[in-house]
Amino acid sequence: MRRWRTAVRVLVVAAFAGAVVWVLASRWQEVQPLLGRLSAGSVLGALAAVLAGIFGTFLCWRALLADLGSPLPVPGAMRVFFVGQLGKYLPGSLWPVLAQMELGRDYKVPPRASGAAVAVFLVVIVGTGLVIAVPSLPLLADGAVATYWWTLIALPVAIVVAAPPVLNRLIGTALRLARRPALPQPLTLGGIARAAGWALLSWIAYGVHVWVLALQLGATPTPWLLLVATGAFAAAWAIGFLVVVAPAGAGVRDAALILLLAGVLSAPQATVIAVLSRLMFTVGDVAWCLPALVARRMSTRQGSADETGAEISAVSPTPSSRGTGSSPAARRRPWRRT
C-alpha cells in the first residue's frame, strides 16, 4: 500500500511539474525576452519579501508553541522550525512534524506540544490564506470563482476549526485516542490572534514579491494590483497545500498561480513569476537554516560558558567566607612572591 501511495504521489507531482515545464517550453520564445526585463534590484527585492514572509510564518509558529506552554528563545526556535521545515520537500506531510518533534526534545518541548503546534500552525496559515484569497477571487482571472468555488466552503470551515474551544477539543480527543497526556496548557484566543496576525503579515509579504515581479514584467500598475497579487498567491498556496499528494505543493501551486494571474498578466509573464517564486521559496527555506544553525551554535557556546562560570563560582571561596574558618582555603594565609 505504501509503495502504491508513493507511486501515485510521484506521478501527480510529475504531471503538474510537467505541465509547468510544457508551458515554459512551448512559450519559451515569449518567456526569454521577459527574463531580460527583470533587474537585479527587483529580483533581490522580491527575494527579500519572500524571506520576510517566511520569517513571519516562523513567528506565527513560535507564538502558537508559546501559547501551548512551551516558549522558546528565538535561536532555539529558529533551529527547530527552519531545520524541521525542510522535511516538507519530501513526499508526505508528516516529515516536518516528526523533525520538529525530535528537535524540540533538545529544548524540553513535549513531543505532543510540538505536534500540536505544527497542526494548529497549518490551520492558521491556511485559514488566513483563505481569508485573503476568497474576497479577491472576483478580481482574478475569468472563471476563478467557478473553478475554485470550493474555497467558499473551506473558508468558514477553517474559521470554525481555528476557534480555540474547537481546537482544544480536537487536540484533546486526538491525544486521548493516542493514549498521550494532555497538553501543558490549552490554546487561548490571544495566542491564536497573535499567530494569525503574523500569518497575515506573511501573506502581505508574499503578495509584495509577486507584485514586484509583475510590475517589472509589464503589468499595469493599477491600485488593485497588490491585492490581486496577494490574493492570487494565497489562493494558489492553499490549493497546493490541500492537494496533499504533492510535497510542498510542488507543481500544483505553480499551475494555479499561472491561471489565477491571467487577469493581469499574460501566460508567459505569469509562468516566469511562478518559476521564479518557486525558486525563491526554496532559496529562502535553505537560507533561513543557516542563521538558525549559527544561532544554535552561539547559544550552545554561551550556555557552556555560563555553566563553566557557575562551576568556578561554586568551588571558589567567596569574600564573606574568607577568614571565617568555613573552609581550609579560607584559613590559609595568602601566598606571596618573595
Q: How confident is the model at residue 336 (pLDDT cuts 50, 70, 90)?
A: very low
Give the model's pLDDT for residue 311.
Answer: 44
Block residue for cell numbers 467557478: 146
Give the model's pLDDT for residue 197.
Answer: 97
Count of domains for the chain? 1
Contact 268, 24 (CB under 8 A): no
Cα separation, 119 vs 115, in Å, equals: 6
Residue 79 has pLDDT above 60, yes or no: yes
Judged by average pLDDT, the poorest of 10-24, 83-97, 248-262 is 10-24
198 by Cβ neighbours in 10 Å (0-12 / 13-18 / 19+) ranks as: buried
Measured N-to-C along each axis, helices 225-242 and 189-216 cross at an angle, to the nearest 10 degrees, of 120
Q: C-alpha grid cell for residue 117?
A: 503546534
In-domain check, residue 332: no
In-domain check, residue 167: yes
Cα separation, 105 vs 114, in Å, equals: 9
Give the model's pLDDT for residue 53.
Answer: 97
In-domain check, residue 302: no
In-domain check, residue 320: no
In-domain check, residue 12: no
For residue 106, what are the contacts with CB-CB under 8 A and spacing of at least 6? 76, 80
H helices present in 185-224, as ranges: 189-216
3-state secondary structure 85-123: HHHHHCCCCCHHHHHHHHHHHHHCCCHHHHHHHHHHHHH
In-domain check, residue 13: no
Judged by average pLDDT, the poorest of 257-266, 275-284, 289-298 is 289-298
Categorise residue 248: left if φ over 0, alpha if ψ from -120 to 50, beta otherwise: left
Residues 59-72 have a mean pLDDT of: 94
Q: How confident is the model at residue 60 (pLDDT cuts 50, 70, 90)?
A: very high
pLDDT, one tens digit per residue, over 105-150 is 888 899 899 989 999 999 999 999 999 998 888 878 777 787 778 8
Residues 189-196 have a mean pLDDT of: 96
Cα separation, 64 vs 164, in Å, equals: 11
Judged by average pLDDT, the poorest of 80-89, 170-179, 240-249, 257-266 is 240-249
Q: Which residue in 154, 182, 186 sits closest to 68, CA to CA?
A: 186
Q: How confident is the model at residue 81 (pLDDT cuts 50, 70, 90)?
A: very high
Q: Give the DSSP per-residue string, 262-296.
A: GGTS-HHHHHHHHHHHHHHHHHHHHHHHHHHHHHH
Q: Which residue has the higher pLDDT, 289 or 201?
A: 201
Residue 243 has pLDDT above 80, yes or no: no
Q: How confident is the model at residue 204 (pLDDT cuts 50, 70, 90)?
A: very high
pLDDT, one tens digit per residue, over 4-52 is 655 654 564 455 455 445 545 655 555 556 666 788 888 899 999 999 9
Q: How confident is the model at residue 88 (pLDDT cuts 50, 70, 90)?
A: confident
Residue 92 has pLDDT above 80, yes or no: no
Contact 175, 112 (CB under 8 A): yes
Q: How confident is the model at residue 310 (pLDDT cuts 50, 70, 90)?
A: very low
Give the model's pLDDT for residue 145.
Answer: 80
In-domain check, residue 18: no
Give the model's pLDDT for residue 33.
Answer: 61
Give the model's pLDDT for residue 329.
Answer: 44
Q: What is the extent of the structural domain holding 52?
A: 25-297
Mean pLDDT score of the chain, rounded to an integer?
78
Residues 265-287 have a mean pLDDT of: 86
Give the model's pLDDT for residue 299.
Answer: 55
Cα separation, 223 vs 209, in Å, equals: 16
In-domain check, residue 7: no
Give the model's pLDDT for residue 56.
Answer: 96
